[in-house]
Amino acid sequence: DALPILEHGSDEVSTAAAIGFCEHLMDTPQQIEVLPKIMSRNDFLGLRNLLEYHNEPEKVDACLKALWGK
């Protein structure tokens, strides 16, 4: 069971938490290296706008090339 403090009945809160999580996927090298294990290249591309909220587009491009070679 989830901890009561983590439960919330609002879809807006759930969405905000998911967006906040995605925005910070590239914060550390350790996080970046795990990305291919938890998502596909297409998943990464689908999150591009969120990733670019906290990262320069060039960093997102470099990450994409380093992880998926494209």
Question: How many of the other CB atoms lie within 10 Å of CB of 54?
Answer: 14
- The DSSP secondary structure of 3-59, one letter per residue, reads -GGG----HHHHHHHHHHHHHTTTSSHHHHHHHHHH--HHHHHHTHHHHHHHS-HHH
Q: Which amino acid is at 36?
A: P
pLDDT at residue 28, rounded to an integer: 93
**Res. 7: pLDDT tops 90:** no
**42 token code pair:** 């297409």
Q: Mind listing the pLDDT tens digit for each residue in 12-47?
A: 887 888 888 888 899 999 999 999 999 999 999 999
Q: Mind listing the pLDDT tens digit for each residue in 39-66?
A: 999 999 999 998 998 899 999 999 999 9
